[in-house]
Structure 1
Amino acid sequence: MIKTRTGFAGSARFTLLAGAAALALPGIAHAQSAEAQEQVDVDSDSFPVASDAETGNQIVVTATKREQTLQDVPVAVSVTTAETIERAQIRDVTDLASVVPSLRVTQSQSQFATTYSIRGFGTSGNNIGLEPSVAVFVDGVYRSRAIAQISDLPDIQRVEVLRGPQSTLFGKNASAGVISIVTKDPSYDFGGSVEASYGNYDAFVAKGYLTGGLTDTIAASLAGGYNRRDGYLTNAFNGDDVNNRNRWFARGQLKFEPSDALKVRLIADYDEIDEKCCGVTALLIGPFTQVIQSLGGRVNDPNRPFDNVIYSDVVPNSRVKNWGVSGQADYEMGPVTLTSITAYRTTELNANQDVDFTSLASATGANIGQAKIETFTQELRFASDFDGPLNFLVGGYYFNEKADSADQIVYGPGFRGYANSLITLLSQGQLNASLLETYFGVPQNTYWQAGQGFFNHFTQDNEAYSLFGNVDFEITDALTLTLGANYTHDAKDVVSDSRSTDAFSNVNLVTAGAAVVRNQVIAQQVGAAIGLPAGSLASPAQIGAFAVSQPTIFAAINTGATNFANANATNPAVNSFLGLSALQFLPPLQNIPNAVEDGKSRDSDWSWTARLAYEISPTLNAYVSYATGFKASSWNLSRDSRPLAADYAQLVAQNLAVTNLRPGTRFALPENSTVYELGLKGDWGRIASANLTFFKQSITNFQTNTFVGASFVFANAPKQSTFGIEFDGRVSPTRDLSLFLAMTYLEPKYDSFPGSPLGDLSGREISNIPKIAASFGMQYDKELSGGNHLIFRGDYNYQSPVQVEEGFTKFGTPAAGILLASRYRREVDDLNASLTFAMQNGLELSVWGRNILNDRYITGMFDSVAQDGSLSGYINQPRTYGVAARFKF
């Protein structure tokens, strides 16, 4: 088994786990709202019930689109406060996963390929047509792709991670969960903060926040930040740093409160990323990669993947721009509040990446991609606050989006030499590129020329709306029944305009090979007829002369040769050219709409919630719930977008199919999720808090996206499910010390997945999802003389060993690919810590470190592009550390 981690030994690790578990009740969830801060009165000798141990303030969340304390809200939710984010040096949602073990964030070939998963459920971000199963909201505004919120977290108040289907209230694509980021409301009191941090890899981060009242009824805030860092990977081909940081954001808010009943909040934000992302390391070298090496190309030593060295002749630039405006109005009409949230957002991506991830200069050229997503959303809801036993929340949601996606793969001048070597390898020395062109009767230097490639372009128009409602009925003072429903209709229209100029990929090897076989049979039989030595082939001139002199005999030879060639056109033992199909890297795409496929999907579905919440005591609540979720069809907007089997048959029957078309997946069917949940929530003020959740969650028609060495293949897993236990909480043995633990246990499996690109995965455990994920944390806040504080915070993130990938497709058989994948496992031991001296005047000085143990592991793997028998992968970030200064006023 390949070693994919470094750090202390297993016995020490489990000693630490056991010791931490003995000291702490599970927990991480701590949040406060501005209103709660104003309402809670804290003195030096007591803490309020339902309090945040770090701040002493009441924990208030909006997981159900109402303000409730964390103890009272009957939903599985983890909350991370601004203070935790500051102390733990959490920069973005990726870092957030270190303190929320049910959340996992992965990133592969570019920032666009960012995936958020909750409880093991999440959708790959590698295709713009795939919308996430985990919905991201910032101040109530939906971000339709993960890339729309991967920059640094802005002026944060808290981050809520809602676990399990949330489609009843959140509607659009919340079939696996929700990440809800809540920023600070502008304040009428003047204040703010500035922060700067410097660390290894020449890392520099600066942030600022300013707020205050402009008039008695108008308040404003401004926030901005800049984050840069050298890359932790070195491209040995040109000396570049790769996987660096270079990003900034700006955000402005205005709050209008012209009366006690009306509040309006306007937000404008912009963020930009311009980085070299993402570096790929070689993990296994096969014969195709050895050909590249023979031509002068280099890759890193696959036995030392954590040397932080890669080889690439293409600079992997990735540029992302996000901007948007939104407005929220809340109007109180007695006991009913009307809320309206209107937003417009734009996301743009430009990326440039190597294709083969080697240093063979100009071999395969570059994969260049562009995307633009424009989104308009409108939400309108009414929420009651009656004194009686019945309350409701009803509303509607409208979504309109246009997505434009393009990418190009263009061969470089060195690719023909690479292809020529592969032809020689595959034909065991019997063929080369020039001889192949002669056989197929095309001019020399036709195939694999610089500038040939694939030029892909899709547009997708998506319009959706949903109607939703929840009713809460207090059966008794302690028992509340909640019933909820959501009806969603989703319409997508897709148009493609894609073309392949790769001359060899446009060759039909069945017919072209059959023609060569026919000609060879004729040449052999004519040679025998005119008395040439056995096995000799007649020349074209000899064949022509024979056809004139012996027309009857030649007609019989021609007919027999034609029948033989046609009968054996698909027999690789006769038509040996079929073995060269592996070199048809960029076959044509059947554009849509066409006479058979209209490029449209129309999906409608109901989602439901039923929940009983019971207050056992003032400090302990319980709930049991049933909920369903829905995500509409996702279209394959990649160069491997292919018609479904039935549509393929019609295209062939009507002679409309492009060359080398094969059936595949044009779109993935809608997802439906179901969860059964039992939860306990306890809060004992300063002393402790704890939450325990048992759940059984499943998704039918789960949308998967599998890389097969040259492209991504869509598929639907008919059913996958997870049984799990989540446990989080806090204990404070003294006023200065708080201990936290969050732990997730999962049993994920494919209940049914016979049509996987890797073969039948039914009944198998799902890879890349650890059975146990835990975050142990502590904070020691010691008050010193003069009102100063010394604060130590640490968290340790552990993930049990897990197979990194399900399997690979370029290793003979699916079983062989799955067996190989079992060798590559990951285990995570991630320790983070900070020490802060907080002065009474608002100045704070800190030292911090992330991944202090320098634990290294493989985050993802794939079949190397155009290199059968090779594997490539992504590795995690090494140890980082630094100092920081923050001033709050």
Structure 2
Amino acid sequence: MPVLERGIVMTLRNILLGATMLCAATTPAFAYAQDAAPADDTATANDADYGNEIIVTASKRSQTLQDTPIAVSVTSAADIENAAIRDLIDLQSAVPSLRVSQLQSSANTNFIIRGFGNGANNAGIEPSVGVFIDGVYRSRSAAQIGDLPNLERVEVLRGPQSTLFGKNASAGVISIVTQKPQYEFGGAIEASYGNYDAITVKGNITGPISDTVAFSLAGNYNRRDGYARDLNLDTDVNDRNRWGVRGQLLFEPTDALSIRLIGDYDKIDENCCIAGNVIAGPTVAITNALAGGPSVDANNPFSYNVYNNFLSTNEIENYGGSAQIDYDLGNLALTSITAYREVRANTNQDSDFTSADLIGQNSQQLGIDTWTQEVRLTSDFDGPINFLLGGYYFNEKIKQKNDIRFGEDFRPYGNALIQAASGGALSVPALEAALGAPSGSFFREGDGLDEAYRLKNTAWSIFGTVDFEVTDRLTLSAGANYTQDRKKFATNVISTDTFSGIDLNDPAFAGFRNQLLLGGALQQAGVNPNDPAAVFAFATNPATAATFQAFQAFANANQNNPAANPLNGLKPFQFLPPFLNLPNSVEPGKTSDNDLAWSVRASYELTDTVNVYATYATGFKASSVNLSRDSRPLASDLAAIGAAGLTTPNLVSGSRFAAPEESEVYEVGLKANWSVAALNLAAFKQSIKGFQSNIFTGTGFALANAGKQSTWGFEFDGSVRPVDGLNLTLAVTWLDPKYDSFVNSAFGDISGTMPAGIPELTMAAGGTYTHEFAGGTKAIFHVDYHYESPVQIVEGLTGLPASVAQNLKREVNQLNASFTVALTNGFELGVWGRNLTNATYLTTIFPAVAQAGSVSGYPNQPRTYGVTGRFKF
């Protein structure tokens, strides 16, 4: 293999600078012993021996992750097999600092590191946690969650990453590496069968085409029946159905030149994701009546029984290609990575999660086209100074079309809400008549919003690091990243919701409001305003005539007073008001950001087995755009919008975009590695100014910047080998997060409070025992346990007291295990189980859509188990 090929580390994107530039604290729970540096650029595992050391090489130098001070957890292919990790959602059970949440569709997955992360539910929001696959940035979750075949390892880098990645990441990075083509013919095929009729097949083959060209082909197929039951539709839901293919060519025409071409395609077509009823509010009685029976499994989210009136759609295609060129210039190495990717997602969901036909359609068609180019120059001098210098370009276009429409039952549902809100005084037909609207026009089936959005994002950055070996034991490092990011966005949203387009404060309705004010006052006095005789008697009786005149005076004085408007109670039912599109004369639909992020590090080798380090680093994420029906002008623009005559009925302020995130971390750590044990300790304070919060309010999402979110934390991971073949591991993360400042949240000023969903204590404990029999057959037993301490799931719930949200907590206790027999001829047979105790918890909760007082939530996946056969050749 060429020298350059041995000198490039794909997972850390060549972030080590030659000497000890990269600082990484590997999770020993997932590191295997290696007697010497590997011949290629990969972190490798000795299948016969579980140990405490994992070797990588960068810039043509071998170095253990244990020797370098960046906080990173490594999960190898063997770990993924033993723990039956099927996708990135399962990975969190192995990496305590990582949390992955599956939200309302297969295209919405949220990644959180050390309590920081966002990006799901809105294509205009870039994630704070960057995901890279074979060095290529995947900008949205729809492009990240496919089941990749032929994995080599997954690395989770914690804290802001800027100076070693062209694409800045304010909270951390997940780097996924697949195996590159080999010049020795080989491959593997794996088949698994489990409960819920789950079938998983994976295969790969690699080998030489010539002395200088190698290839690999890989594919995967993953299907499973639904583990939940829709009792209204009488069918299983939450199934899995996805497949993918991946091809690679490796050209090495000379010892100095290496070209790696990758092309891939994967597709998802499945029904996801159920929401159970956590709290049954007063509207459940209405939806039950409309459905003619149960509309939800009330207050029982873990029954996995749901009621919908149509199945959800999740059709996602993700495909693209990349070319990596590495050229060895002697003491310098030049790397270029060019990539183009497309995502096409078509989703639809019964978003009211009831068997009443309230939301007849909530669909999205999303297209994302992304082109990236990165160039890096890395030195490998014998002297004390080495460097990395790089440039990065990012170009992305997003087209999104949404449709949300009322179902058949929404008109009677809206009528019931209005009658309840008015004490029976009003109804939908009565309102239509009083407000001059055509009969049957309010909450009409098929009405709603037609939405179209466009976003173009271009960004470039220059980044680099310098590494100075002061002594054989002391290394100082510094790095910087200058980024410019520009976004242009446009909307074309049309509302056909007649009721939401009516200004209930309009002077034209003064007479109607006068009548309601007078009628309300009479009712308070015990007089039925709908009984003319009773009203006349009250008005003419000398004892009450003065009171009646006072009532009239009050109604006359307040008929145009918005604060006393008797129709104010109906405004929450104006769900889909007219939309002010942009760009317009006040709002240009543009953002432009720039930032200089930097880092300094010092690492010192106390002994041959103990290192200490200190790091200060900053990170950056550019403005995110609100590509949703909740995109509304900033409060500061409302006056100018009014002056320009652009005001639409019921226009209120909100956000068109969230300002950038700026993060920083102070971190000190100690790493030790002995013959039978290893440990890593890290203490840090990490914060993000302007954290981009995206909270669901029951009818939409509120995108806003928190003033500052921070956390103190400690991370420990250690392993010990008390006897040959036995490896015991423990990884613990403790966090003390808070909103230092968040004045304008969806729930008011929550400054000083603890952000929801971030457990104080997370732990991953495990053990693997390998026994080798005479003749070479091996038996491998693995068990791991994942724990998260109780934590409040959401900051608040719109329309409910704060105490309700405070009492809704999540605690995770998950036990996983596997047992595998590996024969000498390459055959392996094993059994596995995840969540063996069938522990239950809610991953996310939210106010039920248009159902005030009700709360829905996504339950975790129940116990799964199965058998796996594997053949390696």
TM-score by length of 1: 0.89
2:354 match: 358
Task: Give ranges in structure 2 of 5+ residues lacking alignment.
Answer: 1-25, 520-531, 538-550
Q: How does 1:272-291 map to 2 (within 5 A)?
A: 272-291=267-286
User: Given that residues 172 and 631 in structure 1 are in contact (C-alpha distance below 8 angstroms), is that contact kept between their aligned partners in structure 2?
Assistant: no
2:630 matches 1:640: yes
2:89 to 85, 94, 119: 94
What secondary structure, in the 3-state scheme, does the structure 2 residue paired with 1:283 have?
strand
1:591 to 581, 590, 597: 581
2:686 to 677, 697, 701: 697
User: Given that residues 27 and 74 in structure 2 are in contact (C-alpha distance below 8 angstroms), is that contact kept between their aligned partners in structure 1?
Assistant: no
Shift in Å at residue 28 of structure 1?
A: 2.1
2:342 match: 346
2:314 to 308, 312, 318: 318
User: How many equivalent residue pairs?
Assistant: 821
What secondary structure, in the 3-state scheme, does the structure 2 residue paired with 1:290 have?
helix
Judging changes above 3 Å, is the alpha-carbon distance between structure 1 residues 695 and 433 closer, same or farther for their aligned structure 2 residues? same
2:469 matches 1:485: no
1:20 match: none
Judging changes above 3 Å, is the alpha-carbon distance between structure 1 residues 451 and 32 closer, same or farther for their aligned structure 2 residues? farther
2:611 match: 621
Task: Give ranges in structure 1 of 5+ residues lacking alignment.
Answer: 1-24, 41-47, 525-531, 538-559
1:830 match: 814
2:324 matches 1:335: no
Shift in Å at residue 57 of structure 1?
A: 9.6
User: Given that residues 829 and 855 in structure 1 are in contact (C-alpha distance below 8 angstroms), is that contact kept between their aligned partners in structure 2?
Assistant: yes
User: Given that residues 517 and 555 in structure 2 are in contact (C-alpha distance below 8 angstroms), is that contact kept between their aligned partners in structure 1?
Assistant: no
User: Given that residues 443 and 497 in structure 2 are in contact (C-alpha distance below 8 angstroms), is that contact kept between their aligned partners in structure 1?
Assistant: yes
Amino acid at match of 2:687: S
Judging changes above 3 Å, is the alpha-carbon distance between structure 1 residues 793 and 844 closer, same or farther for their aligned structure 2 residues? same
Amino acid at match of 1:761: I
2:369 matches 1:374: yes
Amino acid at match of 2:29: I
Q: How does 1:659-678 map to 2 (within 5 A)?
A: 659-678=649-668
1:797 match: 786
C-alpha distance in 1, partners of 2:92/2:34?
22
2:505 to 510, 523, 526: 510
Shift in Å at residue 518 of structure 1?
A: 6.6
Judging changes above 3 Å, is the alpha-carbon distance between structure 1 residues 256 and 35 closer, same or farther for their aligned structure 2 residues? farther
C-alpha distance in 2, partners of 1:132/1:523?
53
Amino acid at match of 1:705: N
2:154 matches 1:159: yes
| The 10-residue stretch of structure 1 (383-392 or 760-769) with the greater mean CA deviation from structure 2 | 760-769
User: Given that residues 253 and 268 in structure 1 are in contact (C-alpha distance below 8 angstroms), is that contact kept between their aligned partners in structure 2?
Assistant: yes
Shift in Å at residue 533 of structure 1?
A: 6.9
Q: How does 1:62-461 map to 2 (within 5 A)?
A: 68-296=63-291, 298-360=294-356, 362-461=357-456
Q: How does 1:425-824 map to 2 (within 5 A)?
A: 425-511=420-506, 514-517=509-512, 520=515, 535=535, 567-571=558-562, 573=564, 575-685=565-675, 687-811=676-800, 816=801, 818-824=802-808
1:881 to 845, 861, 865: 865
Give the alignment's Cα RMSD to 1 decimal: 2.5
What secondary structure, in the 3-state scheme, does the structure 2 residue paired with 1:170 have?
coil
| The 10-residue stretch of structure 1 (599-608 or 305-314) with the greater mean CA deviation from structure 2 | 305-314
User: Given that residues 514 and 559 in structure 2 are in contact (C-alpha distance below 8 angstroms), is that contact kept between their aligned partners in structure 1?
Assistant: no
1:28 match: 29
C-alpha distance in 2, partners of 1:518/1:618?
83
C-alpha distance in 1, partners of 2:727/2:517?
87
C-alpha distance in 1, partners of 2:328/2:437?
77
What secondary structure, in the 3-state scheme, does the structure 2 residue paired with 1:786 have?
coil
Amino acid at match of 1:731: V
C-alpha distance in 2, partners of 1:304/1:490?
46
User: Given that residues 622 and 661 in structure 2 are in contact (C-alpha distance below 8 angstroms), is that contact kept between their aligned partners in structure 1?
Assistant: yes
User: Given that residues 50 and 727 in structure 2 are in contact (C-alpha distance below 8 angstroms), is that contact kept between their aligned partners in structure 1?
Assistant: no
2:547 match: none
C-alpha distance in 2, partners of 1:519/1:613?
76
Amino acid at match of 2:666: Y
Q: What is the CA deviation profile of residues 767-824 of structure 1, one whole-angstrom value per residue up to 9, with x for unaligned ones? A: 111111111111100001211001001111011111111111122xxxx2x2111111
Judging changes above 3 Å, is the alpha-carbon distance between structure 1 residues 259 and 587 closer, same or farther for their aligned structure 2 residues? same
2:541 match: none
C-alpha distance in 1, partners of 2:516/2:842?
53
User: Given that residues 63 and 162 in structure 1 are in contact (C-alpha distance below 8 angstroms), is that contact kept between their aligned partners in structure 2?
Assistant: no
Shift in Å at residue 234 of structure 1?
A: 0.5
| The 10-residue stretch of structure 1 (167-176 or 512-521) with the greater mean CA deviation from structure 2 | 512-521
Shift in Å at residue 39 of structure 1?
A: 8.0
User: Given that residues 513 and 577 in structure 1 are in contact (C-alpha distance below 8 angstroms), is that contact kept between their aligned partners in structure 2?
Assistant: no
TM-score by length of 2: 0.91
User: Given that residues 420 and 433 in structure 1 are in contact (C-alpha distance below 8 angstroms), is that contact kept between their aligned partners in structure 2?
Assistant: yes
Amino acid at match of 2:762: A
Q: What is the CA deviation profile of residues 749-781 of structure 1, one whole-angstrom value per residue up to 9, with x for unaligned ones? A: 111111111111111111111111111111100
Shift in Å at residue 377 of structure 1?
A: 0.2
C-alpha distance in 2, partners of 1:27/1:151?
27
Q: What is the CA deviation profile of residues 411-442 of structure 1, one whole-angstrom value per residue up to 9, with x for unaligned ones? A: 12221111111111111111111111111122
User: Given that residues 50 and 69 in structure 1 are in contact (C-alpha distance below 8 angstroms), is that contact kept between their aligned partners in structure 2?
Assistant: no
What secondary structure, in the 3-state scheme, does the structure 2 residue paired with 1:643 have?
coil
C-alpha distance in 1, partners of 2:296/2:743?
36
2:4 match: none
What secondary structure, in the 3-state scheme, does the structure 2 residue paired with 1:473 have?
strand
What secondary structure, in the 3-state scheme, does the structure 1 residue paired with 2:506 have?
helix
What secondary structure, in the 3-state scheme, does the structure 1 residue paired with 2:288 have?
helix
Shift in Å at residue 242 of structure 1?
A: 1.5
C-alpha distance in 1, partners of 2:72/2:463?
21
C-alpha distance in 2, partners of 1:37/1:82?
16
What secondary structure, in the 3-state scheme, does the structure 2 residue paired with 1:594 have?
coil
Percent identity over paired residues: 53
User: Given that residues 810 and 869 in structure 1 are in contact (C-alpha distance below 8 angstroms), is that contact kept between their aligned partners in structure 2?
Assistant: yes
2:845 matches 1:861: yes
What secondary structure, in the 3-state scheme, does the structure 1 residue paired with 2:123 have?
coil
User: Given that residues 589 and 640 in structure 1 are in contact (C-alpha distance below 8 angstroms), is that contact kept between their aligned partners in structure 2?
Assistant: no
Judging changes above 3 Å, is the alpha-carbon distance between structure 1 residues 657 and 482 closer, same or farther for their aligned structure 2 residues? same
Q: What is the CA deviation profile of residues 12-40 of structure 1, one whole-angstrom value per residue up to 9, with x for unaligned ones? A: xxxxxxxxxxxxx9732427999944489
User: Given that residues 276 and 300 in structure 2 are in contact (C-alpha distance below 8 angstroms), is that contact kept between their aligned partners in structure 1?
Assistant: no
What secondary structure, in the 3-state scheme, does the structure 2 residue paired with 1:270 have?
strand
User: Given that residues 855 and 878 in structure 1 are in contact (C-alpha distance below 8 angstroms), is that contact kept between their aligned partners in structure 2?
Assistant: yes
Judging changes above 3 Å, is the alpha-carbon distance between structure 1 residues 572 and 591 closer, same or farther for their aligned structure 2 residues? same
C-alpha distance in 2, partners of 1:403/1:66?
41
C-alpha distance in 1, partners of 2:829/2:680?
33
Amino acid at match of 1:396: G
C-alpha distance in 2, partners of 1:435/1:702?
46
| The 10-residue stretch of structure 1 (335-344 or 55-64) with the greater mean CA deviation from structure 2 | 55-64
2:12 match: none
